[in-house]
Amino acid sequence: MDHSILISQIQALVPMDDEGTILQDASLLIRGNQIEALGPAEQLAQWVNRADEVIDGRNLLVLPGLVNTHHHMFQSLTRAMAQNDELFQWLHTLHPIWGGLRGEDVYISAKLAMAELLLSGCTTTSDHLYLFPNDVRLEDEIRAATEMGIRFHAARGAMSLGKSKGGLPPDHICEEEEAILQDMQRVIEAHHDADPYSMLRIVLAPCAPFTVTHDLMIEAAMLARSYGVSLHTHLAENDNDVQYSLEHFKMRPGEYVESLGWLGSDVWHAHCVKLDAAEIQLFARNHTGVCHCPVSNMRLASGIAPIRQMLDAKVAVGLGVDGTASNDSGNLLQETRQALLLQRVAGDPAGLSAREALTLATRGGADVLGREDIGRLAPSMAADIIAFRTDQVSFAGAQHDLLAGLVFSPPPGVTHSWVNGKPRVKDGILLDVDLPLLIEKHNQCAHRLIAAG
């Protein structure tokens, strides 16, 4: 029989269902990698003596694991650099440093980034790796995800349009497009798992319209759809990004991706800060997803993405921490808070509610990634579950509305976390990882990379 875990007499259980339910004095039963049952504690009382493991939930707030839909994990090696630059200048500063990346750097930085995510309540993450210098392979991140036990959507990115061809990145960190497409096909065939509860899926993700050609965008879309995998890229991130599109393609970013076939429920775009009303409606009609990265957008002075308008138009929106060199954190719970605040700073104190912000971080992210097995707590859903102690400082005074307390005043970290039914964080400690040693190795990689750059 599969291992069973009962979280018993939970103070507040938030399933993130359509009805906005919050269950008091509830219990939740995990069996194997799935949720078997949840409801009032008295209805599951028989499992107190039958479950293999019982967790006391009397001071816990329990929710679905958070979903991160955009990241560049290797950038944790260059945290807090290029501190006063907008996007394009920031890239000009960092591209030469990143050109020195090695496979070991990518592996160690991914493990560190995943640790940071897990400790903040994230249980599923995507990562957009678009640089493959030296011996770097997508497998460097896949190995890290397997060891960390996090659900992973590995996006095989690419840059092919160097400065000599009118693009932004230096030529020497770009790849030939034929080699890119061959490797994209290789990693799909080697690693993509489309089954329910899959721990690993592959995404095809040319970096951005200013770093790849028109042809590569089209070929990547055709390849992805022939295998049934998703597509991802950056879009409309700031005014310079839009201006590049107008000058080079004679179209706004939304019109350009429409011309490439990059719309649909199998596509999501990162940032989308500068989408106009017509582009938002275009995304809504075509069921195209958006990843909102509020902290990165603020850090790089890119602007405020029109998330309220997107949600009102029924666009699927998730959250992303973006790279740790433009955030400069990988804390998805803090990202949820900033999403709420940023929609209010323009003048509407009700621009985004606490539940809406948390929906972006759970169900919204699941929708963007095309997952029907995560983002909610219900029977037969994946057992991706997080819990926070409610008797800590951040919840003091917020016992009347614990969900709002979590978003408005996030605690330092998650208390418990299960991914696919397996514990990853217990009593605030990340399991099966020597975190001080990982940090030491990460700092060694960062020092070598920055010194060489």
Total domain count, the chain: 2
| Mean pLDDT of all residues in 409-431 | 97
| Domain match, 190 and 327 both | yes
Whether residues 95 and 163 share a domain: the answer is yes
* Together in a domain, 120 and 244: yes
- Average pLDDT of the residues in 229-247: 96
Are both 70 and 32 inside the same structural domain? no
- Does residue 27 share a domain with residue 158? no
Q: Is the per-residue pLDDT at 54 higher than 90?
A: yes
Give domain status of residue 446, yes or no.
Answer: no
Q: 319 pairs with which residues across the strands?
A: 68, 292
Neighbours of 172 (CB within 10 A): 11
CB 45 within 8 A of CB 51: no
3-state secondary structure of 155: strand
- CA-angle at 170, arms to 165 and 175, nearest 5°: 75
Q: Are residues 60 and 88 in the same domain?
A: no
Q: Is residue 447 part of a domain?
A: no
Whether residue 309 is found in the same domain as residue 283: yes
Range of the domain at 115: 66-368
- Residue 453 clears pLDDT 80, i.e. is over it: no
70 and 59 fall within a common domain? no
- Structure confidence at residue 168 as a pLDDT band (50, 70, 90): confident
**What percentage of the chain has pLDDT greater than the value 90?**
97
The DSSP annotation for 266-299 comes to: TEEEEE-TT--HHHHHHHHHTT-EEEE-HHHHHH
Confidence of residue 346 (pLDDT cuts 50, 70, 90): confident
**Which residue is associated with the tokens 């917020």?**
398
Helix (H) or strand (E) holding 138: none
Verify that 331 and 239 share a domain, yes or no.
yes
pLDDT digits (tens, 9 = 90+) for 41-53: 999 999 999 999 9
- Torsion over CA: 376, 430, 58, 407 (sign): negative
199 and 308 both lie in a single domain: yes
Residue type, 13: L
Supply the CATH number for residue 423's domain.
2.30.40.10
CATH (domain of 117): 3.20.20.140
3-state DSSP assignment of residue 374 = coil
Entry field: residues in the chain:
453
Whether 407 and 292 share a structural domain: no
3-class DSSP assignment, residue 41: helix
Q: 24: part of which helix (H) or strand (E)?
A: strand 23-31
* Confidence band, pLDDT 50/70/90 cuts, at residue 1: confident
Least confident range of 125-129, 164-168, 288-292, 359-363: 164-168
- Checking if the pLDDT of 166 tops 90, the result is no
As given in the structure block, the two tokens for residue 370 are 């095309």
Helix (H) or strand (E) holding 194: none
Predicted pLDDT at 167: 84
Q: What is the C-alpha separation between 332 and 321, in angstroms, rounded?
A: 6
Q: What is the mean pLDDT of the chain?
A: 97
Q: What pLDDT shows up at residue 353? A: 98
Average the pLDDT over 108-130 and give the result: 98
Closest by Cα among 283, 304, 292, 282 to 238: 304
Of the candidates 375, 374, 378, 340, the one whose C-alpha atom is nearest the C-alpha of residue 356 is: 340
* Helices vs. strands in the chain: H and E counts, helices first: 15, 17
Q: What whole-number distance in Å separates Cα of residue 209 and Cα of residue 302?
A: 17
- Asked if 172 and 33 sit in the same domain, the reply is no
Per-residue model confidence as pLDDT tens digits over 382-405: 999 999 999 999 999 999 999 999
Query: Span 222-239, mean pLDDT?
Result: 98
Of 452 and 291, the one with more pLDDT: 291
pLDDT tens profile 184-211: 999 999 999 999 999 999 999 999 999 9
pLDDT of residue 103: 98
